[in-house]
Structure 1
Amino acid sequence: MLTKRMVVLQARRCCNVHREMWSKGFKRNFKGYCAVIGGILIHLTLGNLYSFGNMMTYMASYLHQRVDPSVTYANIIWVNSFTTAAQGCFMVLGGLLERTLGPRLTCFIGCSLLSAGIMLTKFAIEVGLIGVVLTYGLLAGLGISLSYATPLACGMKWYPKQKGVINGLIVAGFGLGALGSTTFQTHYLNPHNSLPDVSGYFTEMNILDKVPSLFIVLGLIFLVMQYIGCLLINKPSDEEMKESWPRQEQESLLRDIQEERKREVEGVEEEVEQIAMTSNKSLAPELKPSQVIKNKCFHIFWLIYFFNTIAVGYINAMYKSFGQTFINDDHYLAQIGSLAAIFNAVGRVCWGRLMDKTSFRVAMRTLTILLMMLYATMPLTRYMGKFGFTLWVWMIFFTFSGTFVLMPTVIEKAFGSQHYSSNYGLLFTSQTVSGPLIAGVNQLLWSTVGYTGCFLLVSGIIGLSVIMTFLVPRGL
């Protein structure tokens, strides 16, 4: 009778233990899912940056026709350049705020600044190009910089074994953001698919009259999405991080213990020690920003990112104006940009998966070689018609998207997660140079060498990035 009672008590104890483990696991997984979903929502709004190529045609037309005739497609690109430059200047600040205020409040501040910058453009566009640069460019870029890296850091802490895929999912939101933005902008401003005049600018009153109000509508939509994302975003506690990191090994070990009750205690302890040693080996050294900036490997990453973002910024700003030179269909060009967002998003997941399966060296080398070839042949699409132009734009967006999942993942892998947001912010300082450089070079060369010369120049710059991938240490 005593034996049966002991068996019943043991069985109840086991059931309670399993129930508690399941409850903790469910709660941990639920919080992790919320963090990823919140990060995707936030990045969907940040991805409005990729709709600039579409929005630029309407902003340039409004400024050129009603405010300042000297504004052209050659200098409107300064707006986008200041956005990316602001990201580079203030991304480190976002990492510092996260460590001080926490991820939720940091994202709240950044998202509010982004939406405020967009809405204030309603008034700034009446002032002139400088006003738009300060609001749609600088202030919006500041908002992006503060809220960009935090969701990635939270996601990787929840899922340390799938960093590439998790980063790919979150930044896929950034790439996908232009899908909704571009479609909404076009149908709000140009529902009847009116064409620009022979100079390339829209002149219809119905289009130009609605340009200022669009910024208010976009800003309000983004605010709702952003605040929901901020409520969902969270990072694991120290206990949850310990449970997340060796979770697979713990589950495997638990199954072995349950199946082999007669295993020797010494053998179990030895296996636990081996698991701990394996886990510790996979952890990256925790380097502070002051240490990272002196690291040779970081300099290589910085240059790769610098060269790649030149290509990203140029196609994002100029694809539609280039297409307008031989495609007379505004809705079609807008649809190309909208659907390019899907390739941008899917590409991020695919490149993240490729890095998980191979390495950063292999994935980034493949990416840069393909991107270099696409840019070199982009001028030929004017002879391929709509199909060729569409295919090239989509392939470029698919290819360059990998930069924004491979780089954050390798930064965390090489320098650790403790100071990840700040370290990744250091990488973004390259955009303080690449952003203005794109605008300056484009303004100087566009009127002399045209689109063909500019595309070939960008292809050569990406060739430098290919060379840099051979300097990345093995094992990364």
Structure 2
Amino acid sequence: MKPQTVPQSLAQSDNSLDKNQNESQVDEPGDEHQFKVYSAKELKSIKLQGLICLFGGVALHFVLGTFYLWGGISPYVAAYMKQYDRNVTQSTLQIVFPILGIATNSVLSFGVKLAFRIGFQTMICGAGFLISLAFLILSIINDIYGFILIYCFMIGIPTGLVYMLPIICGWKYFPFNRGMVSGLIIAGYGFGAFSFNFLCKAICNPNNEDPELSFEENGKIKKYFSESVYKNVPLMFRMLALSYFFLTIIATLLVKYPNDLNLEYQQALGEGYKKPSGINHEKSVDYNPTVMHAECETLEQGLKSRPFWFLVVMVLCSIIFGMLLANCYKVFGQTLGINDAKLTVLGSVQAICNGGSRFGWAVLFDKIGFKKVYLIIAVINLICTASIGYISNSYTGYFIILCVSMCCEGGLFSCYPAVSAKIFGHKVGPIIYGGLFFVIGLSNMLGYLLYKFGEPSIGFGGIFWILFGFCCVAFIFGIFFKEEHDWKKK
């Protein structure tokens, strides 16, 4: 059966319903919205192309997952840099993670727009090449400030620009399985850190040596890895550069944006025009662009609203604990007497928990709503922050707390974009979400400052009690938060 054009009356009807959504989306060059009906053979071919695209998206997110790799390799890098500059400390290098987060999050909203102008494959190829080149440069640089600059911006900005691209492409092939598409691709983000954590450990510390070089810092004795470990750091960076280069080639070849593909209006043969099955259309913000209540019309209106400022505080206070653990899990684990091999396993598993849990939280969000999901996560974070200081030298206890905390972190990341669209609508919601991502970066930086200036005087135990206070604020604001907002009153 050849593709058929949907009758003009239906197209006009659907187009009028889609008006609000189209106004808020990027103008897609070449996408003329010609609604067609595809035969079973054509749908099978489209599905195959979609699966290939998803595979390429996973390959790209393996590269982007270097974001969560830093917590695992920072002790190696600190020892390597200390041989060139004795003033370098572990806390000096921990600033990389929050700056990397800010650099990544600050350009997320520009990536898709730029891709529609210069091409998705061009963007992916360019970003992957820059990330690979950055790691190659890092293998020969020995200046701490140059290192931080290159790692944070030459890796962070390309990561933010292409983060959403494979997800946007996957949505075109599977418009009614957007949660599945996002979950599968973002899982690659976690699996990338999982895989390369083991690679970096195998290169730098194959004999599982413990830090043994002692230095006095802020009145405390800190231990660093010996030369037999840190001398392998340049090789580690070169292997990462090579691996990311080949993954970039795969992603560039497989991730394609199908401009002329429109599956949203597929005809059910013999039964007239129906919405495709397999999705709860009444609850799907993605499918139904018309919101029954009035939407937020302007960004100014959204910024002045109560839900926005509640979300700012909730994001700031709920994200900080997980971000600090992702940044310093090895540093804290070493104070518990846990060896490098076990910490590497732990870092890899926590990355999987972070990325892999997002799909499950998104499904739960659809069933019970944001507020209940958020309060569940807030309670779990309260328990973790209150108990992590008492685990002593228990590897099992640390393993459980870290993995549970990272699952919660993944849940927060998966729910914030959905609640932004639900409350503020399709026009202002994405912009609000971009702002919330910047708040995530600020929360990450605040966690680093607590570690930098608090750990020497009050230790990790004191820091965790401060984070317990942040989680209390997050829980209280979550109780009084309202998911629905009547914009008609404004």
TM range, smaller chain: 0.7 to 0.9
The correspondence of residues 250-329 of structure 1 with structure 2, limited to 5 A, is: 250-251=267-268, 254=269, 257=271, 282-283=288-289, 290=299, 294=303, 296=305, 297-329=307-339
Q: 1:468 to 1:233 in 2, by over 3 A?
A: farther
The residue matched to 1:201 in structure 2 has which SS?
Answer: strand
Aligned to 2:340: 330
1:132 aligns with one of 147, 152, 173 = 147
What are the Cα deviations for residues 27-84 of structure 1, in whole angstroms up to 9, with x where unaligned? Answer: 32223223322222211221122121210111111122x0222222222111111101
Return the offset for 1:127: 1.1
- More displaced stretch, 409-418 vs 227-236: 409-418
Q: 1:140 to 1:206 in 2, by over 3 A?
A: same
What are the Cα deviations for residues 291-344 of structure 1, in whole angstroms up to 9, with x where unaligned? Answer: 786473455444433334322320011111111112242111111112222222
1:427 aligns with one of 421, 436, 441 = 436
Report the Cα distance in structure 1 between the residues aligned to 2:124 and 2:100, rounded to whole angstroms.
Answer: 17
Aligned to 1:67: 84
Aligned to 1:117: 134
Aligned to 1:463: 472
Q: Does the alignment pair 1:47 with 2:65?
A: yes
Q: Is the 8 A contact 2:75 2:225 kept in 1?
A: no
What are the Cα deviations for residues 112-142 of structure 1, in whole angstroms up to 9, with x where unaligned? Answer: 3322322221233x112x1221111222111
Report the Cα distance in structure 2 between the residues aligned to 1:13 and 1:194, rounded to whole angstroms.
Answer: 65
Q: 1:319 to 1:148 in 2, by over 3 A?
A: same
Q: Is the 8 A contact 1:95 1:421 kept in 2?
A: no
1:32 aligns with one of 34, 41, 50 = 50
Q: Does the alignment pair 1:441 with 2:450?
A: yes
| Alignment-mate amino acid for residue 388 of structure 1 | G
- More displaced stretch, 284-293 vs 223-232: 284-293
Return the offset for 1:236: 4.0
The correspondence of residues 164-179 of structure 1 with structure 2, limited to 5 A, is: 164-179=179-194
Report the Cα distance in structure 1 between the residues aligned to 2:211 and 2:340, rounded to whole angstroms.
Answer: 8
- More displaced stretch, 229-238 vs 219-228: 229-238
| Alignment-mate amino acid for residue 82 of structure 1 | I
The correspondence of residues 137-286 of structure 1 with structure 2, limited to 5 A, is: 137-197=152-212, 199-237=221-259, 240-241=261-262, 243=263, 245-247=264-266, 250-251=267-268, 254=269, 257=271, 282-283=288-289
| Alignment-mate amino acid for residue 125 of structure 2 | F
Report the Cα distance in structure 2 between the residues aligned to 1:96 and 1:422, rounded to whole angstroms.
Answer: 13
- More displaced stretch, 188-197 vs 201-210: 201-210
Q: Does the alignment pair 1:473 with 2:483?
A: yes
What are the Cα deviations for residues 172-224 of structure 1, in whole angstroms up to 9, with x where unaligned? Answer: 11122211111111110000111102545334322121112211210220121
Q: Is the 8 A contact 2:318 2:471 kept in 1?
A: yes
Q: 1:340 to 1:46 in 2, by over 3 A?
A: same
The residue matched to 1:457 in structure 2 has which SS?
Answer: helix
Return the offset for 1:377: 1.3
Report the Cα distance in structure 1 between the residues aligned to 2:386 and 2:259, rounded to whole angstroms.
Answer: 48
Report the Cα distance in structure 1 between the residues aligned to 2:426 and 2:55, rounded to whole angstroms.
Answer: 20
The correspondence of residues 405-424 of structure 1 with structure 2, limited to 5 A, is: 405-413=414-422, 424=433
Return the offset for 1:100: 2.1
Q: Is the 8 A contact 1:153 1:420 kept in 2?
A: no
Aligned to 1:265: none
Q: Which protein is bigger by CA-based radius of gyration?
A: 1
Aligned to 1:453: 462
Report the Cα distance in structure 2 between the residues aligned to 1:45 and 1:316, rounded to whole angstroms.
Answer: 18
Aligned to 1:107: 124
Q: Is the 8 A contact 1:74 1:446 kept in 2?
A: no
Q: 1:158 to 1:287 in 2, by over 3 A?
A: farther
Q: Is the 8 A contact 1:284 1:415 kept in 2?
A: no
Aligned residues: 435
Taking only the aligned residue pairs, the percentage that are identical comes to 23
Aligned to 1:353: 363
Q: 1:164 to 1:464 in 2, by over 3 A?
A: farther
Report the Cα distance in structure 1 between the residues aligned to 2:170 and 2:123, rounded to whole angstroms.
Answer: 15
Aligned to 1:368: 378
Return the offset for 1:87: 1.6
Aligned to 2:103: 86
Report the Cα distance in structure 1 between the residues aligned to 2:413 and 2:2, rounded to whole angstroms.
Answer: 48
2:413 aligns with one of 377, 383, 404 = 404
Q: Is the 8 A contact 1:92 1:424 kept in 2?
A: no
The residue matched to 2:337 in structure 1 has which SS?
Answer: coil
Q: Is the 8 A contact 2:338 2:395 kept in 1?
A: no
With normalisation by structure 1, the TM-score equals 0.81
| Alignment-mate amino acid for residue 460 of structure 1 | G
Return the offset for 1:433: 2.2
Instruction: Indicate the structure with greater helix content.
Output: 1
| Alignment-mate amino acid for residue 372 of structure 2 | V
Q: Is the 8 A contact 2:81 2:88 kept in 1?
A: yes
The correspondence of residues 334-345 of structure 1 with structure 2, limited to 5 A, is: 334-345=344-355
Report the Cα distance in structure 2 between the residues aligned to 1:365 and 1:456, rounded to whole angstroms.
Answer: 19
With normalisation by structure 2, the TM-score equals 0.79
Q: Is the 8 A contact 1:309 1:431 kept in 2?
A: yes
Larger RCO: 1 or 2 (CA < 8 Å, sep 6+): 1
Q: 1:20 to 1:133 in 2, by over 3 A?
A: closer
1:378 aligns with one of 388, 394, 410 = 388
Report the Cα distance in structure 2 between the residues aligned to 1:327 and 1:38, rounded to whole angstroms.
Answer: 40
Report the Cα distance in structure 2 between the residues aligned to 1:468 and 1:39, rounded to whole angstroms.
Answer: 36
What are the Cα deviations for residues 357-406 of structure 1, in whole angstroms up to 9, with x where unaligned? Answer: 332232222223212321221111225x1211111111112221112222
Q: Is the 8 A contact 2:302 2:424 kept in 1?
A: no
Q: 1:230 to 1:475 in 2, by over 3 A?
A: farther
The residue matched to 2:207 in structure 1 has which SS?
Answer: coil
Residue segments in structure 1 that go unaligned for 5+ positions in a row: 1-11, 258-267
